[in-house]
Amino acid sequence: MRKETKSRGPGVPILGPLFGLLFGPRMRPILAIAAVLVGGAYWTWSQVRDKVIAEPHYQVSLENIVVTSPPVWIKADVKTEALRDASLDTPLSILDEQLAERLAKAFSFHPWVAEVREVRKSVPARVTIDLVYRRPVCMVELPDRSGLYAVDAAAFLLPSRDFLDEPQKAAQYPRLAGITSVNVGRVGVRWPDPFVQGGVLIAAALEESWHRLNLARIVPADTAGFGPSTPQFELATRNGTRVLWGAPPGMETSGEATAAEKLASLNRYIADHGTLEGRDGPQRIDVRAKEIVVLAVKKKATTAAAAGTAGPGRK
């Protein structure tokens, strides 16, 4: 008759001997020596740490902090400003365990920085920081304020002082007008107005075609019949034609053409007619459907009709 044997749990039988080997009487002197060595090393480091950190070999100067080169539209000294605002413009040590985190946080707060991808430390003391910068796609024009406000495709307000000094540079970007925001927000923070957030999405979609289409402004349209959460927009050409655009990209209503389809309609119209203007001047074009629609333009009343006739016998 064959005897049945019970399988042992994996590894369990050897735990006892293992603990006995590691913490038995024979190992206690070795463990004690190891503890003394570790404790001594820690005490020694605590005594010399400040001196070692202060060694020039480990000191990080401003010149030894290398960041991704800013694009041409950024005139500010991003590195100097980020370090100054975070009070990190004094000598730093590469041995500081929190240095990478502190630098990443400092640069993430700069309004021109969209993302801090990586902070790398090396010896001799050097720090390399990989940054992603924000890119302006639109200039916002407010009716009761002077100047223009630069924003990126996510509606983050960007430093605009460079564009105020160079109006010709600001004119290169699409312009969003008709915004009545009371709360503009601060630089580096997303503009809370849904019409700004929607308008910059349209600006980003039209950025490469803006000048070829002879566009002047993006403006909020009458939202009657649409929910307040669905902002509607029109485009205005430099010669006065109005293009009914509709919702921003990604927010189109059921049956509405996508941004790519709307742009394709405008490009076809330009190819066929050479301009978005009508034969008799400015016109209204609707690109919200799959096919472009030219709407009738109400002619202005004559001077006599607008003023009203005096009537028979009146001098």
pLDDT score for 2: 47
Which tokens in the block code for residue 203? 């600006």
The answer to whether the CB of 292 falls within 8 A of the CB of 269 is yes
Per DSSP, helices labelled H in the chain are 15-23, 28-53, 78-85, 99-108, 161-165, 167-170, 194-206, 259-273, 303-307
CATH of the domain at 120: 3.10.20.310
Which of 120-129, 164-173, 261-270 has the lowest average pLDDT? 164-173
Residues 186 and 66 in one domain: no
Tokens 């590195």 correspond to: 79
* pLDDT of 185 strictly over 70: yes
Q: ω into residue 282 within 30 of 0, thus cis?
A: no
What 3 state SS string does 80-145 have? Answer: HHHHHHCCCCCCEECCCCCHHHHHHHHHHCCCCEEEEEEEEEECCCEEEEEEEECCEEEEEECCCC
What per-residue confidence (pLDDT) applies to 312? 35
Report whether pLDDT(315) > 50. no
CATH number for the domain including 186? Answer: 3.40.50
* Candidate from 41-55, 63-77, 252-266 with smallest mean pLDDT: 41-55
User: Could you tell me the pLDDT band of residue 273, with boundaries at 50, 70 and 90?
Assistant: very high
Does residue 261 surpass a pLDDT of 80?
yes
- Compare 281 and 48 and report the one with higher pLDDT: 281
pLDDT above 70 covers what percent of the chain?
Answer: 72
Phi/psi at 187 (nearest 5 deg)? -60, 135
State the average pLDDT for the chain.
Answer: 81
237 shares its domain with 128: no
- In this structure, the dihedral spanned by the alpha carbons of residues 158, 164, 168 and 169, taken in order and rounded to 10 degrees, is -20
pLDDT recorded at residue 124: 83
Pair 115, 160 in one domain: no
Average pLDDT over residues 19-29: 60
| Domain termination site, one of 80, 113, 133 | 133
The pairing of beta strand 175-176 with beta strand 233-237: unpaired
pLDDT given for residue 240 in this prediction: 94
Which has more confidence, 302 or 33? 33
Q: 82 near 109, Cβ under 8 Å? A: yes
Q: pTM for the complete prediction?
A: 0.74
User: Are residues 81 and 208 located together in one domain of the fold?
Assistant: no
Cβ-based neighbours of 68, under 8 Å, separated by 6 or more: 129, 130, 131, 132, 133
Gyration radius of the chain over CA positions: 34
The helix or strand, by DSSP H or E, that contains position 67, with its residue range, turns out to be strand 65-67
In a domain? residue 52: no
Q: Nearest 5 degrees, angle CA 273-CA 218-CA 251?
A: 100
Rounded to the nearest angstrom, the gap between the alpha carbon of residue 28 and the centroid of all alpha carbons in its chain is: 60
Is 21's pLDDT higher than 90?
Answer: no
How many distinct structural domains can be found in the chain? Answer: 2
Domain stops at, among 133, 152, 173: 133
Residue range 144-158, pLDDT digits in tens: 766 789 999 999 999
Q: How confident is the model at residue 97 (pLDDT cuts 50, 70, 90)?
A: confident
